[in-house]
Copies of this chain bind each other. A is one copy, B any other.
């Protein structure tokens, strides 16, 4: 297992972690100041700074783009909605190319408004992924399906386990893989076997960390700083690395609590706790 205490450059910062404190240009500077080796930007922040300017600044800072957040959201109530989603994903692929991103992260979409057809929504996601795959392959942008915690099945993603995401990968073939985000998958009884499976097929495209707090006061905005919750981060990272993953470790914390602190405080703590036990 890699020793993070000797190399903070193994860390990447998902820009959502400090999105309320800083704009993208400040986040890039913060990453450099705190020794992060990578960044995982969100499209809205990139758009605000400008795509080319964002790419230039990230490149000049020497940061690896561990993933562009996010494509997906393929589910919609009608055909026009689904076509618009696909168009938007094709744009995201172009943006990922410009940024030199290692992958395009997919938050696949929940149930369409008014629908209770979970199986149908899963078919929509699969069809959406299929529709963009050729372009993604040609652009050499790997598509990274991120299974989301089952508590987001209704409104964010109907892809809810690593096994389900890998089943999709098997059907889709080359150019597609998964994001292992500990917050979403830590509870899964099949976690160890599915991480091993993902590794065998070279499907692990990104690894995201945060923590599950007890109690969790909000379904979306109460993720914890690594070490403050109950996730066995070291154990899961061990599985992921044993499965062959050698990419960066991306910190992604959505939290009103951490958004209320200074950006420098958050980044300093991230590097500090990840250099320790977790």
Contacts and interface: CB of A to CB of B under 8 A. Distances in A.
A230 B189 contact: no
A151 B148 CA distance: 12
Interface residues of A, number: 30
Interface stretch (A111-119, A172-180, A197-205): A111-119
A86 B264 CA distance: 49
A1 interface: no
Interface stretch (A39-47, A134-142, A212-220, A249-257): A212-220
Contact of A215 (B116, B155, B161): B155
A151 B216 contact: yes
B214 A155 contact: yes
Q: Which secondary structure dominates where chain A touches chain B?
A: loop
Contacts of A111: 214, 230
Interface in A169-192: 186-189
Nearest to A167: B189
Contacts of A223: none
A117 to B, nearest CB: 7
Contacts of A154: 187, 212, 214, 216, 229-230
Contacts of A186: 118, 153
B189 A116 contact: no
Quick one: copies of this chain in the complex? 2
A231 interface: yes
A108 B122 CA distance: 31
A175 B100 CA distance: 58
Contacts of A219: 151, 215-216, 219
Contact of A153 (B161, B163, B187): B187
Contact of A149 (B116, B118, B150, B188): B150
18 contacts: A111-B214, A115-B230, A116-B235, A118-B186, A118-B187, A118-B232, A122-B189, A149-B151, A150-B151, A150-B187, A151-B219, A153-B186, A154-B212, A154-B216, A154-B230, A160-B187, A164-B189, A216-B219
> Which 9 residue pairs across A and B have the least CB separation, nearest first?
A153-B187, A150-B187, A116-B232, A164-B189, A151-B151, A154-B230, A154-B214, A150-B150, A155-B214
